[in-house]
Amino acid sequence: MAGEPQADCLFCKIVAGEVPATVVRETETTVAFRDINPQAPTHVLVIPKVHYPDAASLAAADPKAAADVLRAAGEVAAEEKAESYRIVFNTGSGAGQTVFHAHAHVLGGRGLQWPPG
């Protein structure tokens, strides 16, 4: 069923505590943890506890969870003292998405080029 945990999903396993992660923040609906391959001094992933394959499908099916991800992303940036930061939702393999459980990358702690690559 949409939104239910998927047995083959890495981030569902992190939500379930079956795969370890460096969790920096957890709310009723979200988990935030450090990216295993950081691209900036602050690189935290914020995920909804419910499983949807990407940010747009999450927002369509569960707008509150999508908003909770955005709010948590801002709270993480504030905790990390990143006064400028970027929230990225890679969507589709051509855009670099490798884990098909919606997630926000929160990147900060260095200058960020615009436009991104």
Residue 51 appears among annotated catalytic residues: no
**Dihedral sign from CA coordinates of 79, 20, 66, 38:** positive
User: Tokens in use for 17?
Assistant: 């505590």
Least Å from the CB of residue 15 to Zn ion: 7
The answer to whether the beta carbons of residues 55 and 70 sit under 8 Å apart is no
Token pair listed for 44: 């935290």
Residue nearer to ligand AMP on the CB measure, 15 or 65: 15
> 56 near 64, Cβ under 8 Å?
no
Residue 37 or residue 113: which is nearer to ligand AMP going by CB?
Answer: 37
- Per rule CB under 6 A, is residue 96 in the interface with ligand AMP? yes
One-letter identity of residue 99:
V
Does the footprint of ligand AMP cover residue 98 (CB under 6 A)? yes
Annotated catalytic residue within 43, 51, 101, 103: 103
Pairing of strands 42-48, 23-26: unpaired
Q: Which residues bind ligand AMP (CB under 6 A)?
A: 10, 19, 21, 33, 35-37, 45, 90, 96-99
Instruction: Supply the residues annotated as catalytic.
Output: 103
Per CB under 5 A, residues contacting Zn ion are 6, 9, 11-12, 51, 101
